[in-house]
Amino acid sequence: MTQPVTDTRALRNALGRFATGIAVVTAIDPDGKPIGLTVNSFSAVSLQPALVLWCLGSGSANLEAFRKASHHAINILAADQQDLSNRFATWPTDRFAGLPWHGGYGGAPVLEGCCASFEVANESEVPGGDHSIFIGRVERYGENPELAPLLFHAGQYRRLAEL
Ligand SMILES: Cc1cc2nc3c(=O)[nH]c(=O)nc-3n(C[C@H](O)[C@H](O)[C@H](O)COP(=O)(O)O)c2cc1C
C-alpha cells in the first residue's frame, strides 16, 4: 500500500530502506582549517567524465566553506570506522582531533583507514530542495579492497554478512 507525502518522518523511514555506504566529505575552509561531515548521499554519476555527487543540507555550518573550496575529498568509511561516522555527524566537536590525514589533490583531507577515497574538483552545485547537490570531477582516487565497508540501513549501522 502506498501513501501521499504528508509525513516527513514516514518518508524518511521509507527512504532509509535504501541501504547505503557512509562517507566523510572533507575540504579546507577559507581559514585553512579542515572541515568535514558524514554523508550517505554519495553517488557515482558518470565515468567519462568521472563525476560523483553528494548532497549537503542547507542548514550545514559548512555550506559556504564547501561552496568556496575548489576541491573536496570523499572518504568511504570502513566497517571499523563507525566512531568516525558519529564524530563527523556531531556538533560541536573538534572532528579532526587526533585523526591521521593528509592533503590530497587540491588539499582536501584524505583520511587514513578508509575503503576508498575520491579527491574531486568542485564542478557544480545544483539546488535540491532543502539540500544542495555538489557534483565533483574525480582527479585522483584510491581503494583498499581488503577493507569491508560500513553500511547504513533503516537508521542503523550495518555490516556485510560476507566480509
Ligand atoms: C549516516 C549519516 C548520514 C548522513 N548523511 C548526510 C547527508 O547526506 N547530507 C547531509 O547534509 N547530512 C548528512 N548527515 C548529517 C550530518 O552528518 C550532520 O548533520 C552534521 O552535523 C553536519 O555537519 P555540519 O553542519 O558541520 O556540516 C548524515 C548523518 C549520518 C549519521
Q: With left for phi above 0 and alpha for psi between -120 and 50, is residue 64 left, alpha or beta? A: alpha
Burial of 65 (0-12, 13-18, 19+ CB in 10 A): middle
CB contact at 8 A, 138 and 102 = no
Q: Which atom of ligand 1 is nearest to the CA of 38?
A: 17
Cα distance between residue 87 and residue 73, in whole Å: 17
Global pTM exceeds 0.95 = yes
* Ligand 1: lining residues by beta carbon, under 6 Å: 22, 37-41, 55-57, 60-62, 85, 89, 91, 152
Residue 1 Cα, ligand 1 centroid: separation in angstroms? 30
Give how far the C-alpha of residue 6 lies from the chain's centroid of Cα atoms, to the nearest Å.
28
Residue 89 Cα, ligand 1 centroid: separation in angstroms? 5
Residue 55 Cα, ligand 1 centroid: separation in angstroms? 9
Residue whose CB lies within 8 A of the most ligand 1 atoms, among 38, 88, 91, for a mutation test: 38
Residue 141 Cα, ligand 1 centroid: separation in angstroms? 22
Which of the listed CATH numbers 3.40.50.300, 2.40.160.60, 2.30.110.10, 1.10.10.10 matches domain 23-154? Answer: 2.30.110.10
Q: Show the cell assigned to 6.
A: 504528508
Cα distance between residue 110 and residue 18, in whole Å: 27
For position 163, what pLDDT does the model report?
61
Nearest CA to ligand 1 atom 26: 61
Burial of 78 (0-12, 13-18, 19+ CB in 10 A): buried
Per-residue pLDDT of the chain (163 residues; tens, 9 = 90+): 899 999 999 999 999 999 999 999 999 999 999 999 999 999 999 999 999 999 999 999 999 999 999 999 999 999 999 999 999 999 888 999 999 999 999 999 999 999 999 999 999 999 999 999 999 999 999 999 999 999 999 999 999 997 6
Cα distance between residue 72 and residue 56, in whole Å: 13
Nearest CA to ligand 1 atom 28: 39
